[in-house]
Structure 1
Amino acid sequence: MAKENKKIKFHLFDFKFTPLKEYESSNNSSSILKSCIDRINNERTQNNKAIVVDRNENRDSESRQLFVSSAAYRLKDKVYKCRIALIRDGKIPTLVNKKNYTLTSFDQLGSNSIAETTNFYIDMNSKVPIVCCEFHSQGPRISDIEYYFRYISSHHMLGLSKACKASIHMEMPINDVLTSISEVLKFKIKVRPQRLAYINDSVNASFVGNMSELANTVDPSYIKVEASFRDFGNVAFKKNNKAKTFIKRTLNDINNDNQVGDDFDDFYLEFENNKGNFDTFSLISGKVELGVNCTYLSPGNIDTKELYNRIMVEFNSYLDSKK
């Protein structure tokens, strides 16, 4: 019987660290990242433990415990081959028998827990590392990786950096939209109600607050808003500065905080640029995406060696195109 294949998608980002002032002359993003990975691997080899970071430790929400389970350096490629895990305490799955579709409880784990894992590969050929990260809807995301390494590099552990930013590669970078947008023609937003609170705190716009109030009124699974600002059958129109202010504020916050971007299920924009041309931007489908087919070794268990070898062909081709 032929082994099942699955299409695996990857997104990319620059991994930028800002050294503390006293380390500006001796450290850059690559050296700080290497120090972080050395610290992770030393904890594993010397103490047989992982560095576990709870992203929601100081928030009134469910814990989000993360740890890098492996980080091996491939000298030939100058690439770190890594895997990060998200512990799913309190979310014990149920087993299904696919012959008769009966369910069996899976609650006798003892000291073990379920974890979702995400593979990511870090190219170290320049001063700013570039990361190729598996897209995993249930597992750790780019913003989780960013938070994890920010924690380790900061005063919490190594005390080397004052900031860490994962700058996601987009087909149209957000900064290009911000500098070129002249008029907002249309936007579409889709978001789950439980994510609106963080967006509202960050963006601090009455439009998002009104979405939150509406969600509280009717309790939907998600809320979707589409707004148009020009009647193309009418030549005369007036500028809509309120819409442009809202969009620019939202894009700035997405650009500065990856969690804001993660909280949108869709963010689509049609706009007129400063040259008078029509343009579009999509936060979700507008990310640079690489994809490969990979074999299952067993149900749900991807061949990670094959995955690495296949995606590195695409990753290297992408890097070459940027030179």
Structure 2
Amino acid sequence: MSENFLEVRFNFFDFWFKPYKGSKSLNSSEKILKACIEEINHQKLHEGKAIVIDKYEGRKGKERRNLFISSAAYSHTEKRYKCRINLIRDSKLPHVLNKSNFSLTPLQNLGHNAIAETTNFYIDISQKMPIVCCEFNYDGPRITDIEYYFRQIASKNLKIATACRARVHMKMPVNDVLESISDVLKFEIKVKPNRLAFLNHQVNDAFVGNMSALANSVDPQSIKVDAFFRERGNSSTSKRNLKALSFIKRALKAIKADNNIIEDFDDFTLEFEKTDGTEDTFNLIKGKEEIVIECPTKKSGALDTKKLYELISLKFDEYLELNK
């Protein structure tokens, strides 16, 4: 019987923590991260419970987004943590199918059960800054969830850090675009209307405010704007488009400051001219550093997590070597 395979994508980020001023024992990102994982494992092994954190606690109109880490094992030889973070689905629960007669039973009728979406991620601490290789799971926890989870443990539970940031690795870093952009040739933006209010607050530009007003007038599922200024390869015969340049810089600075903004965009593609006269393209969604592997599945259809790590571990090693 032939094996079935699933395509799995991984992205990367630096895990940065800001220690309390004057802290001598927990004065690095690695030490703070280790303390957080020790607390997670202590609660599981000695207290028999998981640390569950609701990312949307206190937010009106938001469904709960309960997160917990179920596994965080350390390999001394590799200097690497192998972790799993889970998202509990409390709403819109599926039915359980009886294959013999195709009858459906609501999951909530089967006792204390719930659906949990799992994301695998691996933290390497062999370098100055912890680097995370994180599975992309559309339905499960994402990079911003991992960031939020550890931020809460470090700042609220343990009170050992004042900030936590996941610095996503991009093929073209946002800083490079900000430092080199001299004019905007074209941009494409697609976003869900319910995220425009947050974007408008973060970016603080009239363009996003106008997008929000337009969306409110016709109530679409998503709104997309293609803005074209001039052809690539044609040198500018007029002054730079300062309004477009100002908006793009505001948007990029907001993205740099808050990873949550990345998830608000369904598309953010920018064609721009650099200060040296060359032209380039920046893609926020497709521009993340990425590794794709084909992983075998178990008979149940779930990923074989042992094989998954064996496959990604070699690629992760290569990536770290190239990015020293």
Q: Give 1:242's aligned residue.
A: 243
Q: Give 1:259's aligned residue.
A: 260
Residues 263-313 of structure 1 deviation map (CA, whole Å, 9 limit, x = unaligned): 111110000011011011000111000111111103441000000010010
Tell me the CA shift for residue 22 of structure 1: 2.1
Tell me the CA shift for residue 97 of structure 1: 7.8
Give the whole-Å Cα distance in 2 for the aligned partners of 1:97 and 1:242.
60
Match runs of 1:132-281 below 5 Å? 132-154=133-155, 156-230=156-230, 236-281=237-282
Residues 84-139 of structure 1 deviation map (CA, whole Å, 9 limit, x = unaligned): 00111012024568999986643324222111110000001023100000000111
- SS of residue paired to 1:18: strand
Give the whole-Å Cα distance in 1 for the aligned partners of 2:322 and 2:183.
32
Root mean square deviation of aligned Cα: 2.0
Tell me the CA shift for residue 203 of structure 1: 1.2
CA distance 1:286–1:101, change in 2 (3 Å): farther
- 5+ residue gaps, structure 1, are none
Q: Give 2:5's aligned residue.
A: 5
Contact kept, 8 Å, 1:84 with 1:140, in 2: the verdict is: yes
Letter in 2 for 1:251: L
Q: Give 2:49's aligned residue.
A: 49
Q: Give 1:287's aligned residue.
A: 288
- Worse-matched range after superposition: 298-307 or 94-103: 94-103
- Worse-matched range after superposition: 164-173 or 219-228: 219-228
Tell me the CA shift for residue 24 of structure 1: 5.5
Contact kept, 8 Å, 1:230 with 1:237, in 2: the verdict is: no
Question: Where in structure 1 do 4 or more consecutive aligned residues deviate above 3 Å?
Answer: 94-107, 231-235
Q: Give 1:316's aligned residue.
A: 317
Contact kept, 8 Å, 1:193 with 1:212, in 2: the verdict is: yes
- Worse-matched range after superposition: 16-25 or 259-268: 16-25
Letter in 1 for 2:315: E
CA distance 1:101–1:189, change in 2 (3 Å): farther
- SS of residue paired to 1:69: strand
Contact kept, 8 Å, 2:108 with 2:114, in 1: the verdict is: no
Contact kept, 8 Å, 2:185 with 2:231, in 1: the verdict is: no
Q: Give 1:119's aligned residue.
A: 120
- SS of residue paired to 2:313: helix
Give the whole-Å Cα distance in 2 for the aligned partners of 1:211 and 1:13.
31
Alignment length (residue pairs): 322
Letter in 2 for 1:73: Y
Q: Give 2:83's aligned residue.
A: 82
Q: Give 1:296's aligned residue.
A: 297
Residues 19-39 of structure 1 deviation map (CA, whole Å, 9 limit, x = unaligned): 110216752000100000000
Give the whole-Å Cα distance in 2 for the aligned partners of 1:158 and 1:207.
41
Give the whole-Å Cα distance in 1 for the aligned partners of 2:24 and 2:213.
46
Letter in 2 for 1:177: V
Give the whole-Å Cα distance in 1 for the aligned partners of 2:96 and 2:73.
33
Contact kept, 8 Å, 1:30 with 1:126, in 2: the verdict is: no
Give the whole-Å Cα distance in 2 for the aligned partners of 1:183 and 1:96.
56
- SS of residue paired to 2:3: coil
Give the whole-Å Cα distance in 1 for the aligned partners of 2:104 and 2:134.
33
Q: Give 1:71's aligned residue.
A: 72
| TM-score between both structures, scaled by the size of structure 1 | 0.94
CA distance 1:101–1:251, change in 2 (3 Å): farther
Letter in 1 for 2:137: H
Tell me the CA shift for residue 230 of structure 1: 1.9
Letter in 1 for 2:149: Y
Tell me the CA shift for residue 205 of structure 1: 1.6
Letter in 2 for 1:202: Q
Give the whole-Å Cα distance in 2 for the aligned partners of 1:224 and 1:102.
42
2:17 is equivalent to residue 17 of structure 1: yes
- SS of residue paired to 1:194: helix
Give the whole-Å Cα distance in 1 for the aligned partners of 2:100 and 2:7.
25
- What is the percent sequence identity of the aligned residues? 54
Tell me the CA shift for residue 238 of structure 1: 2.4
